[in-house]
Amino acid sequence: MTNATAEFLSKSAFISDRRGALRFIWSHIRRQPVYGVMMLIGAFSNAALAALVPYFVGEAFNALNAGEGLAAMGNFAILIVISQIIRAILQLMRNFSAETFAQRIERDVRDELYASLLGKSMTFHDLQPVGEIMARVTNDVRELNFMMNPGINLIIGSGMFLLVPLLAAPLFHPLLIIPPALFLILYGTAQVIYLRRLSPVAEAVRETFGDMNADVEETLEGLQVVKGAAQEEAEEKHFRTLIEAVQKQVIRQYDMEALYIPVLLLGLVIAGGFAFAVWLFLRGEIGFGTVLAYSGQLQLFAFPVFSSISSFTNLALGRASAKRILQLINSESELDQNTQGVSQTIKGAITFEGVEFGYRKDEGVPALHEVNFEVFAGKTVAIVGQTGAGKSTITKLVNRTYDVDRGRVLIDGIDVRDWNLQSLRSQISIIEQDIFLFSRSIADNIRFGKPEATLDEVMEAAKKAQAHDFILSFPEGYDTMVGQRGVTLSGGQRQRLALARAFVTNPPILVLDDSTSAIDSATEDKIQKAIWTAAEGRTTLLITHRLSQIRWADHILVLRKGRIVAQGNHDQLMATSNAYRRIFARYENPSRPTKATGETQAVSPQSGGN
C-alpha cells in the first residue's frame, strides 16, 4: 500500500501549499485578501502623508522668503494638521487589518498543524518528543503571528518610506535623486547579506528552544521519578545547560543586530544628501525651503532602517518556524485512512497469518515472528507470556495502531488494511494497563468514544463496570472534573472508568490489556462478572496474569520472545505445554504470609505492557 500523509484527514482543516516554507506562508497570506489590501493601502498612505510634512514645511519657508507673509505659513500649517488627521485614521485601519491578518494566519496554521498531528501514526508519535511538538504548536506558530505583525507589516510600511524619498527627490531637482538611489542600492545589498547570515542563527534559536521545551515537558511528566530519586539538583543543572544553549544563540542574533550596517548607511545618506542639497543651494539651483524639504525626505529613511532591525528578525524567525512546522506536517505516516475501504458491522473473527512486526525497522529485531492463530467471533482468547514477549503488540495490530511488516491480520476474513480505518477502530475498544483520562468530567470521559451517549447510558455503563457507587460518592457525581491523566483518582477507579468507557460503545471486539491489575481483590469479583457480561456475544482478547481470567478463556495463546510456542485451552496446555505450566506455576505458587495474620497473600508479578 502506498503511504499517505496522515491516517485521518480533517475535512475542515485548510490544506496549504507545503512545497516550501515561503510557499506555505504565502498560501496562508492569500487566504486573507481583504485585510492584506487594507494593510497595503494603510502602509502606502502612511508613507505618502508622512512625506507631506517636510514638503509643506519647505514650501512654507519658500513662501516666507517670497514675501507671502504669515498667512501662507498658516495655510500650510492647516494642511499639515489635516493630512496627519487623515493619516491617523488610515493608520488605525492599517493596524487593525495587520493584527487581524496575523491572528487569522496564526489560527489557520495552528488548526492545520493540529489536524495533521491527529492524523499521524503512532510510529511517528512514538519517536517524537511531546515537548518538541508542543514548542512547534505553540511558540513556532506564534512566531508566524509576529512575522506578520509587526514583521511584514513593518517591512511593507517601511518599504513605502523607502520609495517616497526616491519619488519626491526629482521633483525638487533632478540631481537630488542620486543620494537616495545610492542608499537604496546599498541598503538592499546589506539586507540580502544580513538575512543570509541571520537565517541559520534564527533556525538555531528555534531548534534550541524546542530542545529546552522538550526537556521541560519530559521532566514534568516524570516529576515523581525525579523527586523519588532526589535528582532535582541534577535536573536543574541539565536544564541550565539547555538554557545556556538558547542564550548562546539569542546572543548571536543580538550581536548581528548590533552590527546592523544600514544604520551606518542612514547617517551617510542624511549627511551626504544634506551637503549635496546645500551645494545646489549655493549654486542658486534650489531654494532654502527646498533644502529643508529634501532633508526632511531623507529623514524618512530612519523609519525603515530602525524598524527593519526587528522586522527582518521577525521575518527570519517566522521563516525558520514555518520550516519546523512543515517538517511535522510533511512527515508521512505509515498508515492511511483508506476512506474507500470496507465499512460494515464487524462480527469479530480475528486471524493472524504469518505475521511479523518490529517497532524499529532500522534495528531489524522483530517484536513478533511468524505468528499464526485464529479467533472465532464471540470467543475469549487469553494471551500470556513473560514481559517483552509481544502480548500487547498483537492487540495493536488488530486495530491498525501499527501495520504488519509481513503476513496478514484479518477481521472477518478481510485484511485490516482493506478496512476503512475509522470504521475499523470505532468497533474495537482497547483498555490498557496505563489508563489515560482527559481533564474533563467523569461523564465526558465515559462517553468519549460515543459523544452522543445519554446520561442514562453513561450510568448504565458505569454500573456494569462497578464504578457507579464510587462516582456517586463524589459531591458532583458524574459532573466531577478529573485531574490531568486522572491523577485525582486511584488506579482501580481509573480502570473501572476505562471499562465503563468500553461498555458504553458496545464494541464487537474488546481488548483488555491487563486492565484489572490495579483493582483490589474485593472489587475483582464484581469486575469479573462485569467482564463476563461484556464478553458475551463479542470477541475478547485478554492479556492478564490473573488465574481466574486465564482459566475462563475459550482459547489461550502462549508467547515467548515474539513467537507463539503453544495454544489451546487451559486443560490442554497444562497437559502438553511446559512453557504454559511454568508461567501458570509462577502466577499460582508465589505467596507469603502476611505480617498481621500469618495468612497467605498472593504476589502478582507484573506482566508489563508488552
* Banded model confidence at residue 539, pLDDT cuts 50, 70, 90: very high
- The C-alpha atoms of residue 199 and residue 315 are separated, in whole angstroms, by 9
pLDDT at 510 over 60: yes
- Which residue, among 111, 105, 207, 192, has the nearest Cα to 146 in the 3D structure? 105
Q: Note the pLDDT of residue 418.
A: 93
pLDDT of residue 278: 94
Higher pLDDT, 477 or 590: 477
Convert the pLDDT of each residue in 145-188 to its tens digit.
999 998 888 888 888 888 888 888 998 899 999 999 999 999 99
In which residue are the cell numbers 514477549 written?
389
Q: Residue 210 in contact with residue 137, Cβ under 8 Å?
A: no
Residue with cell string 472534573: 481
> Can you name the residues that pair with 513 across neighbouring β-strands?
543
**pLDDT computed for residue 135 by the predictor:** 82
What are residue 566's DSSP bridge partners?
A: 558
Measured CA to CA, the distance from residue 390 to residue 281 in angstroms comes to 90
Q: Characterize the bridge pairing of strands 428-431 and 509-513.
A: parallel
Residue listed under C-alpha cell 527593519: 308
As separate numbers, helices (DSSP H) first and strands (DSSP E) second, the chain gives: 23, 12
Instruction: For residue 566, give the H/E element and its range.
Output: strand 563-568
In the chain, what's the furthest Cα-to-Cα distance? 123
What does the pLDDT look like over 419-454, one tens digit per residue?
Answer: 998 889 889 988 877 778 888 899 999 998 888 999
What is the predicted pLDDT for the residue at 442?
92
Residue, of 200 and 11, whose pLDDT is higher: 200
**Which pLDDT tens digit goes with each residue over 283-306?**
989 988 889 889 988 998 998 899
Rounded CA gap, 485 and 194, in Å? 47
How far is residue 464's CA from residue 416's CA, in Å, rounded to a whole number? 30
Across 4-13, 204-213, 515-524, 540-549, the highest mean pLDDT is recorded for 204-213
Helix (H) or strand (E) holding 276: helix 261-282
Q: For the residues 318-328, what does the mean pLDDT come to?
A: 89
Q: What is the DSSP letter of 150?
A: I
* pLDDT score of 502: 84
Check if the beta carbon of residue 66 is closer than 8 Å to that of residue 76. Answer: no
Cβ 150 vs Cβ 314: under 8 Å:
yes
Which of 178-187, 381-390, 472-481, 525-534 comes out lowest in average pLDDT?
525-534
Highest mean pLDDT: which of 36-50, 179-193, 215-229, 362-376? 179-193
User: Residue 269 above 90 pLDDT?
Assistant: yes
pLDDT tens for 92-144 read 888 888 899 899 999 999 988 888 888 787 777 777 777 788 888 888 899 89
CB atoms within 10 A of CB 400: 24
pTM: 0.69
Cβ atoms of 326 and 24 closer than 8 Å: yes
Q: Which long-range contacts (CB under 8 A, 24 or more apart) does 62-67 make?
A: 62/287, 62/288, 62/289, 62/290, 63/289, 64/289, 65/287, 65/288, 65/289
Query: How many Cα atoms occupy the beta-carbon half-sphere of 526 within 13 Å?
Result: 16
**Most confident range, picked from 26-40, 271-285, 308-322, 425-439:** 271-285
Q: What is the pLDDT of residue 337?
A: 76
569 contacts 555 by C-beta, under 8 angstroms: yes
Whether the predicted pLDDT of 459 surpasses 90: yes
Residue given cell 519530559 in the structure block:
218
Domains and CATH numbers, the chain: 21-194+254-329 (1.20.1560.10), 344-427+509-519+535-610 (3.40.50.300), 434-506 (3.40.50.300)
**Measured distance CA(337)–CA(3) in Å, rounded:** 10
CA atoms of 607 and 399, how far apart (whole Å): 22
- Residue-level pLDDT at 593: 38
Q: What's the number of CA atoms in the CB half-sphere (13 Å) around residue 18?
A: 17
Q: What are the C-alpha distances in Å from 281 to residues 65, 95, 175, 277, 288?
A: 14, 40, 12, 6, 7
Q: What pLDDT band is residue 2 in, cutting at 50, 70 and 90? A: very low
pLDDT band, very low/low/confident/very high, at 519 (cuts 50, 70, 90): low
Indicate if the pLDDT at residue 592 is higher than 60. no
Report which secondary-structure segment, H or E, holds 502. Answer: helix 491-505
Confidence of residue 558 (pLDDT cuts 50, 70, 90): very high
Between 176 and 587, whose confidence is greater?
176
Q: Which three cell numbers stand for residue 456?
A: 442514562
Percentage, residues of the chain above pLDDT 90: 29
Per-residue confidence (pLDDT) for residue 520, from 0 to 100: 61
pLDDT higher than 70, residue 591: no
Looking at every residue in the chain, the average pLDDT score rounds to 83
Give the gyration radius of the chain's Cα atoms: 35
